[in-house]
Structure 1
Amino acid sequence: MDQQTELAKVKARIRALAARTVERGCSEAEAMAAAAKVGELLEIYGLSMSEVELREEACIQRTLVFDDPRRQAMGWLFPALLRFTECRGWTVGRADYVIFGLEPDVQMAEYLMQVIATALSYEEVRFRNSADYLRSRAAPQSVLRSFRIGFADRIAARLEELGTHRRATEQAAQEEAVRNGSAGTALVLIKQRKIEDGFKALGVRLRTVTRSAVVRDKGAYGRGREAGGRVGLDRPVGAGPAAGRLPRK
């Protein structure tokens, strides 16, 4: 089996596993097991990507819908996730999150969004049953919004931390390649051009929307940040020497 055929089969399996969600009839345990396997396969695929494969890689678009109270937190951390996965993205209405980029990056973004959303549901149930929530004098919805904002803030910070580390590592690798007489920035430039050209072909016009959030319960916000630090995103995300782990802080 040649490399292209093998990679095509890997991507087909990733798509099949990614479709195994609770919304589509799987149990939560089955969905999480599938998500974990998706992560493993994405790591394998990333490690095998070469310049030729990048030139041939297509841009794709995915829409994730969070038509429930989680959408506030997902919207708050969405820009950081896009920067981390090197994708373009936008929202349609209040619940639709659109991700655009090279297929492995979009799949990584989709994987992370699902893992984070599942973790938020779990952590919110824990918080609702905690003494901090039960003794709060603020309105329940205000307490939960503060919790979600804290959760999203911590996840976004973790993504930014890892993204900063990866970019610094990539920059060092590129500088080393230049010193050795190699085209260290070739892959980066090819990737950027492919995404920009693909996005222009969509004909989508974006506008920036500024969002603000009011934290009415600082205690709930703090519990949300703690919950965001517990999310089990331990496996390496990314490829090559720049790969790292989301820090638990």
Structure 2
Amino acid sequence: MNRESIRKRINVLRERTTARGCTEAEAMEAAAKAAELMREHNLSGEDLDMGEEVATVRASDKRLRHRLWAMVAVCTNTRAVTRQLIGSLQVVYVGRDPDPEIAAYLLDVCNNLIDAELKIYRQGSFYRSRRKASTRRKAAADFTVAMVQRLTVRLHDLFRGEIDGARAAKAGVELDRRFPASRSAGPAKPHKVTYDDAAGAGWMAGDRVNIGRGVRGGTDQPLLIGRS
């Protein structure tokens, strides 16, 4: 059983209280077991509040969408590391619960949104008028990068009041502890736009996205993000 599974198991035990319908004997037994597991695995109360969540993405998307992955971490006060798989990547967000879950959900929705808008763009006249596969790839890349840029700006504006440097710093410490061999990939090579028309269409697609609130602030409403 890995550390994350142990952490979740302990938190389940901690929730077995009389206030939640357990008998006093059941609550005491659960508390004792939780304390035993914490001692056995050298976990503190703060450790139990720190979690991780995984979003699986296409490896081919890294070059064009990595800025979105990073902005999601900023907006949710998490830190992220990528793990290479066969044909895909895992973006692992680490931070105080429920921040990693929000981050993975947000990234998944944004990636699906870009895919949907890109599919629509490829049906348009400008894209279809590119005769070569190479020029179509360039147009699609320009569209994607511009849409990512617009989404990152809008997400930052949306979460601006909730960005917490201290919370993010603790997430960074936890990420380093969990992934001690990870290292920064350094700045990515800038994307050179070939088609202004494609980039403009991507920016407008990012601007059309309907983003609603409801992630924190004591509400149980989900984040609403999607096409208007």
Note if contact 2:176-2:182 (Cα within 8 Å) is conserved in structure 1. no
Query: Which position in structure 2 is the counterpart of 1:179?
Result: none
Task: Return the alpha-carbon distance in structure 1 between the equivalents of residues 77 and 83 of structure 2.
Answer: 20
Query: Which position in structure 2 is the counterpart of 1:225?
Result: 203
CA spacing shift, 1:110–1:5, aligned 2, 3 Å: farther
Pairwise CA distance, 1:77? 1.2
Note if contact 1:82-1:89 (Cα within 8 Å) is conserved in structure 2. yes
Kindly report the root-mean-square deviation, in angstroms, between the aligned alpha carbons of the 2 structures.
Answer: 3.5
Q: Which has the higher helix share?
A: 1
Task: Return the alpha-carbon distance in structure 1 between the equivalents of residues 186 and 72 of structure 2.
Answer: 17
Task: Return the alpha-carbon distance in structure 1 between the equivalents of residues 150 and 73 of structure 2.
Answer: 16
Give secondary structure in 2 for the equivalent of 1:233.
strand
Task: Return the alpha-carbon distance in structure 2 between the equivalents of residues 147 and 68 of structure 1.
Answer: 18
Is structure 2 residue 117 aligned with structure 1 residue 123? yes
Pairwise CA distance, 1:104? 0.6
Deviations 1:143-186 (A, max 9, x none): 0000110111011111222233445xx8xxxxxxxxxxxxxxxx
Task: Return the alpha-carbon distance in structure 2 between the equivalents of residues 92 and 70 of structure 1.
Answer: 14
Task: Return the alpha-carbon distance in structure 1 between the equivalents of residues 168 and 60 of structure 2.
Answer: 34
Pairwise CA distance, 1:113? 0.8
Pairwise CA distance, 1:83? 0.4
Query: Which position in structure 2 is the counterpart of 1:81?
Result: 72
Normalised TM-score (structure 2): 0.64
1:206 to 183, 186, 201: 183
Task: Return the alpha-carbon distance in structure 1 between the equivalents of residues 175 and 67 of structure 2.
Answer: 23
Q: Which has the higher strand share?
A: 2
Output aligned runs, 1:97-246, within 5 Å.
97-136=91-130, 139-167=135-163, 191=167, 194-202=170-178, 203-211=180-188, 212-239=190-217
Note if contact 1:70-1:148 (Cα within 8 Å) is conserved in structure 2. no
Give secondary structure in 1 for the equivalent of 2:93.
strand
Pairwise CA distance, 1:196? 4.6
| Runs of at least 4 residues off by over 4 Å | 3-6, 54-57, 191-194
Normalised TM-score (structure 1): 0.59
Pairwise CA distance, 1:5? 6.0
Note if contact 2:65-2:145 (Cα within 8 Å) is conserved in structure 1. no
Unaligned stretches of 5+ in structure 2?
1-13, 21-44
- Length, aligned pairs only: 178
For 1:201, give the aligned amino acid. Answer: R
For 1:239, give the aligned amino acid. Answer: G
Task: State the percentage of identical aligned residues.
Answer: 19
CA spacing shift, 1:210–1:68, aligned 2, 3 Å: closer
